[in-house]
Amino acid sequence: MSDEKNRSNAREKAKQIISQNGGVIKTSEALHSGIHPRTLYQLRDTGDLEQISRGIYRLTEIEPISNPDFFVVATRVPNSVICLISALSFHEITTQIPHEISVAIPKNSKPSTMEYPPIQFYKYSQESFMAGIEEHQIDGVTVKVYSLEKTLADCFKFRNKIGMDVVLEALKLYKGRKKFDHRKILEYAKICRVDKIVRPYLEASI
């Protein structure tokens, strides 16, 4: 009986620690906080915790995560930026439904191995990687996404991989919904070294 009581106390203490951590915790953080792996597994088995991704758990009593894919990317790969079709979808300037998360990482970085969600990594030069990053608070974590104009420049850069039809549709939707800042797009296009390719399309849209 005392063993069961000790296990129960350990579970309650663990839930309190995880709650203070925003309701989400990595295995490494749990161990550092004194939570035994056995306690984590017990909480998972009782339905008090759900495993979002490998090594990431959340309390089931808190509000559901609105964007679990972005949440996992921001948590597991903090030195990354949502890009290309995933960024277009975030900014609502595409009719494409992403089947994987497009993620930018620095050229000299090694892509993380992740089982879920499906991720396509794109390696960017340091200057291009650092340009046009926006930070958005989603589900309690900071998610880095490229701005609209930087995303459009990136799409021209990777047009052979995502399709020129996707790029032109995004440019059309951008022009219809937002202030058309062709100078800012060209600024990012120069960083991406596609300004000569982008310029005629922008001039035709002005």
Specify whether 141 is located in the same domain as 97.
Answer: yes
For the chain of 206 residues, list the mean pLDDT of each consecutive stretch of 10.
70 81 78 84 83 76 76 85 95 89 90 77 94 89 93 96 94 83 93 94 75
Specify whether 32 is located in the same domain as 10.
Answer: yes
Specify whether 183 is located in the same domain as 130.
Answer: yes
Specify whether 77 is located in the same domain as 25.
Answer: no
Report the pLDDT value the prediction gives residue 1, as an integer from 0 to 100: 44
Report the pLDDT value the prediction gives residue 9, as an integer from 0 to 100: 81
Report the pLDDT value the prediction gives residue 206, as an integer from 0 to 100: 55
Report the pLDDT value the prediction gives residue 84, as an integer from 0 to 100: 96
The residue out of 19, 35, 59 marking a domain boundary is 59
Contacts by 194-200 with C-beta closer than 8 Å and gap 24+?
194/153, 194/156, 194/157, 197/156, 197/159, 198/153, 198/156
Report the pLDDT value the prediction gives residue 150, as an integer from 0 to 100: 96
Specify whether 29 is located in the same domain as 75.
Answer: no
Specify whether 129 is located in the same domain as 79.
Answer: yes
Helix (H) or strand (E) holding 136: strand 133-138
What radius of gyration do the chain's Cα atoms show? 21
Structural domain count, the chain? 2
Give the span between the Cα atoms of 160 and 58, in whole angstroms.
39
Report the pLDDT value the prediction gives residue 205, as an integer from 0 to 100: 63
- Structure pTM? 0.73
Specify whether 52 is located in the same domain as 89.
Answer: no
Specify whether 35 is located in the same domain as 119.
Answer: no
Report the pLDDT value the prediction gives residue 111, as an integer from 0 to 100: 74
Dihedral sign, Cα of residue 193, residue 196, residue 202, residue 206: positive
The residue out of 41, 59, 77 marking a domain boundary is 59
Specify whether 46 is located in the same domain as 84.
Answer: no
Specify whether 19 is located in the same domain as 121.
Answer: no
Specify whether 93 is located in the same domain as 39.
Answer: no
Specify whether 17 is located in the same domain as 87.
Answer: no
- Residue 160 structural domain: 68-205
